[in-house]
Structure 1
């Protein structure tokens, strides 16, 4: 989590397989709400957003990416766990290099010692219908 008043630069990868998309599941304890977002993470000083994307997928789920294509930049203002957040998102479309990831229902990964997350394939129709919450909502423009 970033410090108060800090704008965080992150990179996220949209991985689509037909009518489903690979997302990580999050939970906001204050809003008591589950949400879904693309996988990725922070861009470190001196690192390109594309290199950060590849590093994050390696660190989090030991996955190599291929067909990486830059989609655009999104500014995201949000509230999470009762705190204001501000992100600049460098968004990429990509594919898994290893086809085994397309066979998985879901997987659990650790962002840190304390935070475990689940990543899973979700039918885009469930997000578009509002049954499941996609964040940030501007992602719908890229689906």
Structure 2
């Protein structure tokens, strides 16, 4: 098995981040955790194009990239299984500014449906909410 190349997009509103809320097993246990919208980079696709595609596929909105934030290498275990992701992180904006008024978005990935919510940066930094991938909290503190 090889590392997966992924990309994530960070959208901010009033010191809150739009995150997908998920529940299940994760590298810190079991329960609710959060992750920005994003996904796997396809062969021959630039990460900046991937993040735009993922926002359209997952929550049906167009975004524009404000700036590149950095790259994370996330190595983790869930139930003894090793995972390895190399993730390009972008700060992005909604093209339609009215979307910032929405409280949540429905996220559809195959048969799985979840929802996003605006989570305060303070809750993430204080550890009140679990954010993945590992290292993203520190990257946000340096870049936001």
TM-score bracket for this pair, using the shorter chain length: 0.7 to 0.9
User: Which of 91, 104, 121 is the aligned partner of 1:93?
Assistant: 91
CA contact (8 A) 1:28 1:80 kept: no
Residue in structure 2 matched with residue 118 of structure 1 by the alignment? 115
Residue in structure 1 matched with residue 63 of structure 2 by the alignment? 65
- Number of aligned residues: 138
Shift of residue 81, structure 1, vs aligned partner: 5.6
Alignment CA distance shift 1:135-1:8 (3 Å): same
Listed one character per residue, the Cα deviations across residues 52-106 of structure 1 (whole Å, up to 9, x for unaligned) are 1100101111111124311111100122465321000011011111123211111
Taking the aligned partners of 2:59 and 2:98, their CA distance within structure 1 comes to 12
Taking the aligned partners of 1:64 and 1:32, their CA distance within structure 2 comes to 32
Residue in structure 2 matched with residue 75 of structure 1 by the alignment? 73
Superposition TM-score, scaled by structure 2 size: 0.87
Unaligned stretches of 5+ residues in structure 2: none
Taking the aligned partners of 1:106 and 1:81, their CA distance within structure 2 comes to 31
Listed one character per residue, the Cα deviations across residues 100-119 of structure 1 (whole Å, up to 9, x for unaligned) are 32111112221112x11211
Taking the aligned partners of 2:84 and 2:34, their CA distance within structure 1 comes to 17
CA RMSD of superposed structures (Å): 1.7
Deviates further, 77-86 or 5-14? 77-86
CA contact (8 A) 2:74 2:133 kept: yes
